[in-house]
Amino acid sequence: MADRRDFYEVLGVKRDAAPDEIQRAYRKLARTYHPDINKDPQAENRFKEVSEAYDVLSDPEQRKRYDAFGHDFRRVPPDVDPETWARAQRAGAGAGARAGPGSYGGGGGQRVWFDEGDIDIEDLFGGIFGARGRGRWGPIRGADQEVELELSVEDAYHGVHRWLSVSGPDGTRSIEVTIPPGVTDGQRIRLSGQGGEGTGGSAAGDLYLVVRIAPHPRYRVEGRDIYVELPVTAWEAALGARVALDTPGGEAKVRVPSLTSSGRRLRLRGRGMPGPGGLNGDLYAEVRIVMPDRLTDEERRLFEQLASTSTFDPRSRR
């Protein structure tokens, strides 16, 4: 987690910022970096970073835990004393890689070592490990869980109801979830109280769904924008036409301007993935000129007439 930026720094606000300041900062940054507005390749990642920071800092309980534990706040049990946790982190940082009488295995394969003279291991973790400790913190809130959810482009566009099987220490359980329209690849959806069970009657943790949009034979999704191939005939490309195109939102009519070449992108504003507050993505129809498998005698005659009349040479272009 060390490489992650501080959420307050991401939003450009002070740590004592009021909720309305945080909201104003988010709205300003969201308008700047929203991938529907900003086409810089890094804008989408910046927008996701800003959105995550706002999701946490706009929630009073999550903000309180973030202030206490930093980016570890989702994996630290809720009843752990912040000062005791901070002392443990300082002790681990000071000890570096040296071995001590006790150790704690952190996330990502890291191990933090403690000297018993610096901190009482049982005092820190006794309440977490049940009967082996002193139970000082009493009931423990359930752990947060995270699962990936793969969706088709159509389901991501329209929203969908799903039954999920979630595995945990107490076995596998099924839960019904409602996915809202317009979710994007990598988006996290929080289901409050659907994570691991707590102990001693304490509340359950939260379940986080990480959306993954499956590859599609026709559509390519980038952020909230959708790209789809638009086959046209040579004469439609030359003369211009109005053609039908299937999209995740239904059939759309696309105006192909005259003298359109293959590879040209035709933009349909607002026909991409639905977005919050009406900030829908766009749909881009990528023109591909398609020739028939065979020509009739009349078609061949007309093409030969065109070839003998036209002076256009596409290979002379630079």
Using only C-alpha atoms, what is the Rg of the chain?
28
SS3 159: coil
| pLDDT at residue 169 in the model | 62
Quick check: 237 and 257 in contact, CB under 8 A?
A: no
Kindly list the distances between the CA atom of residue 196 and the CA atoms of 44, 66, 199, in Å, as whole numbers in the listed order: 32, 20, 10
Same domain? 183 vs 152: yes
Question: What is the residue-wise DSSP string for 232-249?
Answer: E-HHHHHH-EEEEEEETT
Domain assignment present for residue 303? The answer is: no
Residue 236 forms part of a structural domain: yes
Are 200 and 266 in the same domain? no
* 252 and 285 assigned to the same domain: yes
By DSSP bridging, strand 265-268 and strand 283-289 are antiparallel
Structural domain includes residue 202: yes
- In the listed set 184, 213, 242, which residue is the last one of a domain according to the structure? 213
Residues 151 and 205 in one domain: yes
Q: Which residues is 114 bridged to in the sheet? A: 102
Residues 247 and 190 in one domain: no
Q: Is the pTM of this model over 0.75?
A: no
Task: Choose the final residue of a domain: 162, 188, 213.
Answer: 213
Using the CB atoms, write b or e for 209-222: b if 16+ within 10 Å.
Answer: bebebeeeeebebb
Does some domain include residue 311?
Answer: no
Question: What is the maximum alpha-carbon separation in the chain?
Answer: 96
Same domain, 209 and 224: no
| Residue 304, domain member (yes or no) | no
How high is the mean pLDDT in each 10-residue block of the chain (318 residues)? 77 91 88 80 84 86 86 74 70 47 38 39 43 51 84 94 78 84 90 80 84 93 93 95 94 95 94 86 95 94 94 82
The DSSP 8-state label assigned to residue 132 in this structure reads G
Number of independent structural domains in the chain: 3
- List the CATH number of the domain containing 204: 2.60.260.20
| 238 shares a domain with 200 | no
**pLDDT of the residue at 146:** 84
If asked whether residues 205 and 224 sit together in one domain, one would say no
Residues 173 and 197 occupy one common structural domain:
yes
Q: Which of 41, 76, 111 is the last residue of a domain?
A: 76
- Tell me the one-letter amino acid at 279: L
- 3-state class of 195 per DSSP? coil
**What is the DSSP code (8-state) at residue 281?**
-
- The domain of 158 spans 145-213
Asked, for residue 96, whether it belongs to a domain, the answer is no
Residue 107 has a pLDDT of 37
Residue 237 lies in a domain: yes
Residues 151 and 165 in one domain: yes
- Are 171 and 207 within one domain? yes
Among 210, 223, 188, smallest CA distance to 62 is for 188
Instruction: Determine, yes or no, domain membership for 68.
Output: yes
- DSSP annotation of 142 reads P
Task: Give the β-pairing of 219-222 and 207-213.
Answer: unpaired
- Spatial distance between the Cα atoms of 90 and 200, rounded to a whole number of angstroms: 30
Distance, CA of 84 to CA of 124 (rounded, Å): 7
